[in-house]
Structure 1
């Protein structure tokens, strides 16, 4: 009888090269769980590539990093506080309940001076449930638009919404892109998160010189930009004294001057500062100062455009909440990346692992901030971005709000599946959002779709950041959704109801993306179940499917109920198919089929309002 053959000995698993302490200090997450609750371990090669960019914080960072706290909390610190308003106060560990909110400087007894941020810990909330429209502003052309939806059209939308009894309008990011052709189409890859895009300014006339005209097949940003720059240059040259502009410019300080200088340099040298002459890479260098002085009039022109944008947005918003969108990042060659080179992680881009939105993952092209460098910079890049985006309108939607907790970072040259998560100081960042919301009396919505780790929903709810509830993704009846949410049927990255129902969205995806056909068709079937669960006939028309979707949405007790103008007007094409670019697809360039100054002529909007509002149409 022969001896049994022993089983083969598996090869030893190599010990991780990086200690847990090293990874924790850098914020790099080795293990993670995907949207389907499957655990993953990041390969060592990815860890090494990410760590090479992120690095480790200095040993003394904890002693000089900002302290973000709330009244009633202990800090473990004592010292004199130079208050934001110029006064002084004493801090002895516990922050008194009546301590002023704001951004202060703490002179620690026997230690370094550091920033002290005192937050209310909760965001401002509107007093009652209301509904409003979600719209891509570039798509919202009127019969008098100069080739692209603009702030004049936003005013038309706002006034129309008020007449219907609505309480808000949600718009795409309005941030500036590089002033070179072709203009960047994606609102989610701006050059800055602090300043706005002049293409949204209302000017007289149109690129083609026409008068009353229908919406074009696609939005031609380049033609609109060239036309508007000609008109605005002439207006700027002919203007007289403008003390209001001079005062506003002085209030904005160095940040505005730096941005306006970047716009001038980008016009001359291209939209990516990394390809400029080496002497222009340092925004505080002698060559940049000399260029700004030599082109003083052009710098003033770009500062003046930002003043016009501020004024027109204020007029467009009126007393209605206009909820602006904060993108997750900026272009690596843009103005903010130029200004904050030492804080951004050059060599990484932000994206998402495979999930229900995209089965092959996503790379959004933006370099992330390095978490510990952001702390070392007193969170100033984040503060300025939130404050600027929230200003003048009454609301903030934080795109991919999970990025305040962790970001999926992809090494340069790798695919979206080859990234890993890098953690951020979420408690501090969220409390800063609360402070800015409190000051601006602006509602905050966190777009929490995709791979959401445990604890995110609770952290948002604790701070009155409204969660995002999308009918396509919610298995539960909308009547059970939380009050602390914004309810919607779809988003700019998801199918419209008509496109889903007719199947044209599937054909659109297959024609423009690399997603597997089986995945795309299976995804459609899954979303269709949301429409069919209350008994909608599969033989129903697209219009009847829209009514069904918003009948369900109308049951939501959510504080904000968002209606899609694409759905209301029967548009089958979604604004964006993730993972696709031009010319395969005209993302971010599809106009609404009805001019916004003729919306009263379309029956769809009134139908949707009646379904979610439950009151007679005031129009």
Structure 2
């Protein structure tokens, strides 16, 4: 392993450490090898500054610590209280000492209930020149699930906050628990059909769901995040670094499926068909996906359709969509229109905030372009809804499984719209581990915990709500970030960061509530070093984990046999951050890592020998259990490994489309940027021949693997 660089770690003073602990900022942590690491005072101070606190000196830290407690006493009611259904909970109400106060609970239904006061005297506190008193009130245990309001009135003051009642557990459909279904996993953009515009789209997703159920009895399709990318080229290739998680990428729209296309004049329809021919010719090529050229062609066609007249009923539906999405859609569409107009050039300083008068004036002057970008989101929403509907009509018990990325681009729409609740000058990442001794900086701005709480978690709720609205399941990438996050201050190397602990009860409770209301299963990607209590907590809330065969090992490196896997997981042989199984079995990942200079100080011979030992350990167990025969070939090994995960108690099992067709190229090589064409690989078979969705289920390798799956589940 490459040695981590030395960091000058000035020991934090007791005043700085006390403020850090009060804000959930680590002053020390245990590294992956068990070593206790002390965080640098500079990193701690930077994290606290990003939270809006003055930590510049010991005296400033002491004042900030006092101000934190004062702020709580100055709030009439807390901005948000997240509770679990069936559990009684109290909350404080602060008034000038001796003043009367009335408190009521206004439920989502409109019903108003009184909040009973609890006999729990707390000594008053002097804040400034006022003496504040605290009254304690109870949240009844029988409140229904939902976002309710607490309203308090005292002499000349009114205060409002949210009471969020969340389910104890996310419900799992009985059919899922009894059947333990399997499904397909795919990077949607990579799987094209004859009608695709050079990239997999939402119509392809609908067809994949229907065909997957009809041809293989699959019950879900897990896809990459569909989050929004830039409105003009160059587009970011990674679906895990979007400009917005709240909205979708119009790149996935199937132009011909927009209802207005059918009513275009015949000459315009002919022109549209002609425009589609150029990107459709790319479908039979194994060349890398070129999002920029595809989007230029598709966006030109979409603009033509946007200008076509809509019926009164369609206009009403569009209006209803805009009203439902509200200010968030207006801000996003405005950002897209401004970004489109400037095309990579710096914006005027007065455009830095979505609430500025300059932005409001610009939006009024460019209302048609703002409307166009809102319309694109409506079309995305309609087509994703159609895909989920196709899945359920075909008989899938789950359907579309949406992936929720960790964060957003630091210069994107969400970073602009939500800047008041993001930690400025901070980036999420990961501390050093056995795979990356330098640590990682993902260039993702994290939520600012104090600001997000003050906003009652509404921005977070809205993006989760949008994610599950048209899905049967939600996969949360790096779910550990809902518990603690590695913050890297701007200008610091990734190893010089701090852990920031966040309110996991609030995060996971809100996810559970929104998923329960949408009828969606939730899966957390909990790979890596995980404290045991975290997995226990996820299990207690009905949130499934993730098991990847290559990572399921004992301390001595031996494979964990399938019957020892956790039951409450989505199990799979591989993931999008690993090579397809055929490449892994052939040791091609070692060769590629060596070519990219990612083996560290070890030799390629040692890495190949270790990979061979890992592979042989799996083969020996499969031979012993009769899952492969002694004269096995690559296809037999891939089928045997899928029998492996299917024989585990895991509730869900994912089968990668790349494994099914014998693809050898990895979709992503973590730790690389321009060195490898991440997220640009179209689906091909073991011979490098493109495989289209139209032919996928007739492909000989796919049919053989499906027979093995059927046998394993018999």
TM-score by length of 2: 0.80
Residue 372 of structure 1 aligns to a residue whose secondary structure is: helix
Moved more, 504-513 or 278-287: 504-513
Task: Choose the corresponding residue for 1:403, options 468, 481, 498.
Answer: 481
1:412 counterpart = 2:485: no
Correspondence 1:282 to 2:353? yes
Provide the residue aligned with 1:6 in structure 2: none
Structure 1 unpaired stretches of 5+: 1-12
Is the 1:498–1:567 Cα contact (8 Å) retained in structure 2? yes
Matched, 1:85 2:109: yes
In the alignment, the residues of structure 1 paired with residue 358 and residue 639 of structure 2 have an alpha-carbon distance, to the nearest angstrom, of: 60
Cα shift at 1:393: 1.4
Q: 1:88, CA displacement in angstroms?
A: 1.5
- Taking a change above 3 Å as real, the CA distance of residues 277 and 514 of structure 1, as seen in their structure-2 partners, is farther
Deviation sequence 1:439-482 (CA, Å, 0-9, x none): 00000000011232341101100001001111011122122222
Q: Deviations over 1:22-46 (max 9, x none)?
A: 1122221122223343332222232
Q: 2:670 aligns with which of 578, 597, 612?
A: 578
Q: Provide the secondary structure at the position in 2 that maps to 1:107.
A: strand
Residue in structure 2 matched with residue 324 of structure 1 by the alignment: 402
The residue that corresponds to 2:692 in the other structure is 595
- Look up the match of 1:516: 600
The structure-2 alpha-carbon separation of the partners of 1:34 and 1:14, relative to structure 1 and needing over 3 Å to count, comes to: closer
Partner of 1:532: 619
Show CA shifts across 1:6-59 (max 9, x none).
xxxxxxx96635444311222211222233433322222322332332344843
- State the partner residue of 1:152: 203
Hey, what's the Cα distance between the residues in 1 that align with 2:113 and 2:603? 60
> Offset of 1:542 from its aligned partner?
2.7
Matched, 1:373 2:473: no
* Superposition deviation, residue 331 in structure 1: 0.9
Once superposed, what is the RMSD of the aligned Cα atoms?
2.5
Residues 355-407 of structure 1 show CA distances to partners (whole Å, capped at 9, x for unaligned) of: 35545432211111111111111111211111111121111100000000001
- Which piece of structure 1 moves more, 31-40 or 14-23? 14-23
Mapped partners of 1:299, 1:248: distance in 2:
15
Change over 3 Å in CA distance of 1:532–1:75 after alignment to 2: same
Does the residue aligned with 2:400 lie in a helix, a strand or coil? strand
| Structure 1 range deviating more: 471-480 or 301-310 | 471-480
> 1:386 maps to what in 2?
464
Aligned pair count reads 602
**Cα separation, partners in 2 of 1:519 and 1:559, compared to 1, 3 Å:** farther
CA distance in 1, matches of 2:680, 2:529: 28
CA separation in 2, counterparts of 1:45 and 1:526? 44
Instruction: Indicate the residue corresponding to 1:45 in structure 2.
Output: 42
Output aligned runs, 1:74-223, within 5 Å.
74-77=88-91, 79-92=103-116, 93-108=137-152, 112-127=159-174, 128=176, 129-163=180-214, 164-204=216-256, 205=273, 206=276, 208=278, 210=280, 213-223=283-293
Whole-Å separation in 1 of the counterparts to 2:564 and 2:48: 43
Q: 1:210 to 1:459 in 2, by over 3 A?
A: closer
Aligned to 1:447: 525
Deviation at 1:158, TM superposition (A): 0.5
What corresponds to 1:313 in structure 2? 384
1:293 aligns with 2:364: yes
**Alpha-carbon distance in structure 1 between the residues aligned to 2:254 and 2:295:** 11
| Counterpart-to-counterpart distance in 1, 2:48 and 2:282 | 57
Deviation at 1:210, TM superposition (A): 5.0
Deviation, 1:519, is 8.1
Deviations 1:256-291 (A, max 9, x none): 11111111011112469xx41111112011111111
Matches within 5 A, 1:240-259: 240-241=310-311, 242-259=315-332
Offset at residue 342 of structure 1 (A): 1.5
* Contact preservation (8 Å) 2:90, 2:139: no
Q: How many angstroms does 1:548 deviate by? A: 2.4
Matches of 2:173 and 2:681 in 1, distance apart? 32
Alpha-carbon distance change, 519 to 449 in structure 1, aligned in 2, over 3 angstroms: farther
Deviation at 1:566, TM superposition (A): 0.9
Contact 1:345 1:370 in 2 (8 A): yes
CA contact (8 A) 2:428 2:445 kept: yes
Q: CA deviation at 1:346?
A: 1.8
Aligned counterparts of 2:310 and 2:612: Cα–Cα separation in 1: 61
Cα 1:538/1:580, change in 2 over 3 Å: farther
Aligned with 2:562 (options 467, 478, 483) = 478
TM-aligned CA distance change 1:616 to 1:44, over 3 Å: closer
Report if the CA contact (8 A) 1:27-1:371 is conserved: no
Greater Rg by CA: 2
Query: Does the 8 Å contact 2:168/2:541 carry over to 1?
Result: yes
**TM-score scaled by length of structure 1:** 0.91
Distance in 2 (CA, whole Å) between partners of 1:325 and 1:264 is 26
Q: Verify the 8 A CA contact 1:131 1:561 in the aligned structure 2.
A: yes
Gaps of 5+ in 2: 1-9, 54-66, 93-102, 117-136, 257-272, 554-559, 624-628, 685-690
Moved more, 607-616 or 314-323: 607-616
**Does the CA-based 8 Å contact 1:73-1:94 persist in structure 2?**
no
Distance 2:386 2:15 in 1: 55
2:579 aligned partner:
495
Larger CA deviation: 512-521 vs 570-579: 512-521
- The answer to whether the Cα contact below 8 Å between 1:473 and 1:527 also exists between their aligned partners in 2 is no
Q: For residues 578 and 90 of structure 2, what CA distance do their matches in structure 1 show? A: 47
SS of equivalent to 2:198: coil
Query: Using the alignment, how far apart are the partners of 1:411 and 1:123 within structure 2?
Result: 36
Task: Tell me, in whole angstroms, the C-alpha distance in 1 between the residues paired with 2:469 and 2:672.
Answer: 32
Q: 2:415 aligns with which of 323, 332, 337?
A: 337
